[in-house]
Structure 1
Amino acid sequence: MGLFKKNKPESNSTGNVKILFTTDLHGSETAFRKFLNAGLMTKADVLIIGGDLAGKSLIPIIDIGNGKFKVEEKVIGREGLDEIIKKYKSSGIYYTIVDQRGLVELNENKKALDEEFKRVILERLQEWDKIAEEKLKGTNLKVYTNLGNDDPLYMFDVISKSERLVKCEGEIVNINGYEMVTFGYVNPTPWNTPREMTEDQIYSNLKQMIEKVENPDRTIFNLHAPPYGTNLDNAPLLDKTLKPVVRNGEIVMTHVGSTAIRKLEEEFQPLLGIHGHIHESRAFDKIGKTVIINPGSEYGIGLLHATYIVLENNKVKTHQFIIG
């Protein structure tokens, strides 16, 4: 994990801070654009993305010559190509244009496929960086950007070079007197995603960081995994084949959050916990005095799920879900 660093405070006292938080955009340019627009409309002071920026799928578009392309078993022209690329960007799907030889290479060479995935992930994130610069031009707004469990670490290379996207994992960020601790790793999942840790590892790494904050009760925990056993971590129970368990015609739900994160929020009682990871579990809850929120995600249909939060005088004055 490396050393945790502490940013210089922006203020010696806490004041009124308006936060717009979203998470689990998974490559959806439409959801990202809506988030930036909502930040401007709500006049937020701080924009935060809680992780999982990367998309999950890559579809090859085959160039068959003479301005024609084959995709999803259909032959289309240039105009159709523009439309399908727009659709893919909106829903978070990556695409690559290849000839027949290139398609064979991707199907038969895992290294080539991995390299192409890396290329399109970085390309999409660089496009988002340009969009953020354009949308937020003339403002002082920064987008505190975390990676989640589905995000490869090389994405930090783009974020670290950006003027608008700010890497916050590994930092203690001071926002007008409120300190923010950020952590993108999650407890083990059935899918063995890139950034998972055991509960003991999560507890150890996070506790080391939290102990560096000055006032835990004025701290924001920006942690991708939600705490276990709350309204924020309900997901379908899966069988051995990873299919949802159905009983009496209904999907059986279970808690899948992190016990370590729950324990740390119980111990340190931060002001606010902002979480994601479990798309279907949009909710707020409390652990002791700590308000915890998961805005949920429907990135696949280009829908923005976000939460508008106002902190005032060391309290969560208000919080509201934004969907659109």
Structure 2
Amino acid sequence: MTESSKIWVAFGDIHQSVKFVNLIPELENASGVIVTGDLTNHSPAGAIEKVWDAISSRNSTILAQQGNMDRANVTAFLKERNANLHCEFRDLAEGIKVMGVGCSIPTPFGTPGEITEEKMEQLLEETHDRLGEYEQLLLVVHDSPFNTKLDVISNGIHVGSKSVRAFIEKYQPAIVLCGHIHESSGEDVIGKSRVINPGMASGGGYVLVSVENGKLDATLKQI
């Protein structure tokens, strides 16, 4: 893989089920792995270590963030390994940056990584304020943006984050990766932004994020 051509494998909503890791053909040769959130189910002892070991056995370059089902110990674990993406950003290539904000807005289930819409807006804006100059942005969020194909639960109601949607409308990142709503995997657009939810990892959905000759792109894939 040349310097002008890079590929990252992205997925989320792992929920401690790691059998899918050995089924992704591009994983070992990718530049790295991006995890959108929900690595665990309420983060019992040893859970994040199990997920980390499964992924890092095939690719040791990992950027990940907590979802609503992850406790703060997941972020602490990722920070220790210089792998945390929650409220952080990195350079993917010249002029191309990735920034992440995990967690979700409140759900009926009272999960540990829930925050208010106001807090979500604050975290997104504060992280973006630190980015500096960029030409293209890859936004990685756990919560799906409101009123899209990607935030619809089984009864047809849209439950995504209005703050996430407003941020996308304002800044128009080239690619947005999200998750959280397992039953709404797929792709949608908000203005010029392509938004992709690969669904639950154990269902086989993942995204190939590529940089080819300075252009950021993404493709939804299925095992």
* Same fold (TM > 0.5): yes
Question: In the alignment, does 2:27 pair up with 1:27?
Answer: no
* Aligned-residue RMSD, C-alpha: 2.3
Question: In the alignment, does 2:32 pair up with 1:39?
Answer: no
Aligned length: 220
Equivalent AA in structure 1 for residue 39 of structure 2: L
C-alpha distance in 2 between matches for 1:149 and 1:266: 23
Question: In the alignment, does 2:130 pair up with 1:212?
Answer: yes
Equivalent residues of 2:63, 2:85 under 8 A apart: yes
Shift, 1:318, TM fit: 4.7
Q: Tell me what 1:304 maps to.
A: 204
CA displacement, residues 10-50 of structure 1 (integer Å, 9 cap, x when unaligned): xxxx9433121100000102124435x5412xx32221111
Shift, 1:184, TM fit: 0.8
More deviation, 127-136/276-285: 127-136
Question: In the alignment, does 2:37 pair up with 1:51?
Answer: yes
Q: Tell me what 1:254 maps to.
A: 157
Shift, 1:196, TM fit: 1.6
Q: Secondary structure at the match of 2:114?
A: coil
Pairs within 5 Å for 1:192-207: 192-207=110-125
CA distance 1:200–1:314, shift in 2 (3 Å): farther
CA displacement, residues 263-288 of structure 1 (integer Å, 9 cap, x when unaligned): 11000011111000000111111111
Q: Secondary structure at the match of 1:234?
A: coil
Report % sequence identity.
24
- Of 211, 222, 228, the residue aligned with 2:146 is 228
C-alpha distance in 2 between matches for 1:127 and 1:192: 24
C-alpha distance in 2 between matches for 1:38 and 1:179: 22
TM-score normalised by L of structure 2: 0.88
Structure 1 runs (4+) greater than 4 angstroms displaced? none
TM-score normalised by L of structure 1: 0.62
Q: Tell me what 1:170 maps to.
A: 87
Whichever structure has more helix as a proportion of its residues is 1
- Of 80, 98, 102, the residue aligned with 1:180 is 98
C-alpha distance in 2 between matches for 1:258 and 1:129: 28
Shift, 1:172, TM fit: 1.5
Q: Tell me what 1:155 maps to.
A: 74
Bigger Rg over Cα: 1
Structure 2 residues not aligned, in runs of 5+: none
